[in-house]
Amino acid sequence: FPPGDKAFAQFLSDEIKEEKKIQKHKSLPKVSGGWELEVHGTEAKLVRKIAGEKITVTFNINNSIPPSDEEDTQEQQKPDEQEPELTSTPNFVVEVIKDDTKQTLVLDCHFPEDEIGNEGEEESDIFTIREVSFQPTGEADWKDTNYTLNTDSLDWALYDHLMDFLADRGVDNTFADELVELSTALEHQEYIKFLEDLKSFVKCQ
């Protein structure tokens, strides 16, 4: 064993203990509103069926934690203080599939970086729709040749209708809050698993 490896494994053991201590959810929190959850590694999918429609929301926790402002944390943190809580705010894709059409409406949604934690304005939405397109239902590969509507320059009335369209299908601020909670718990769970795998790897001869 290189001498560093023993220290590394010991460090990882301590780190795993600490992370398990601050773990908020031992099992993944539920999303209200009758969503079924499927998890494949770092990707999660929420599925909900309403009359004649299937709605799926997919997100991946990789790269879902916004970068922290390094300067701030260094200065303010006293040695014994808890690290600031990390929140996972992944982009998520909503697919609305109507039973009797061959098309799926796909809405690419994001959490704006500056919005998180701005609870001041009651009315403001905590997520935004970035892009909207139609894709052929059931095809794994989406086509770049299909028109994609970018919402940057969109008529606000149309945008509002799109947000209402999502809200009517259960994708609203409450859902987005719960998605963040779920994603954060999943990210933390995967992080601990990663530390455990890393420890086993380091100790393996």
State the burial class of residue 66 (Cβ atoms within 10 Å of its Cβ: 0-12, 13-18, 19+): middle
Three-class DSSP category at 171: coil
State the burial class of residue 130 (Cβ atoms within 10 Å of its Cβ: 0-12, 13-18, 19+): middle
- For the chain, domains (ranges, CATH) are 30-62+87-112+124-203 (3.10.280.10)
**Per-residue pLDDT of the chain in tens (205 residues, 90 and over written 9):** 788 999 999 999 999 999 999 998 889 999 999 999 999 999 999 999 998 999 999 999 999 998 876 555 444 555 555 566 789 999 999 999 998 888 899 999 999 876 555 454 455 789 999 999 998 887 667 677 889 999 998 999 999 999 999 999 999 999 999 999 999 999 999 999 999 999 999 988 7
Give this prediction's pTM. 0.86
Residue 169 has, within 13 A of its CA and on its CB side, a CA count of 24
Predicted pLDDT at 30: 93
Could you give the CA distance from residue 180 to residue 194 in angstroms, rounded to a whole number?
21
Which pair of structure tokens corresponds to residue 144?
Answer: 């770049």
Predicted pLDDT at 35: 97
Helix pair angle (173-203, 3-22), 10° resolution: 150
Could you give the CA distance from residue 67 to residue 113 in angstroms, rounded to a whole number?
10
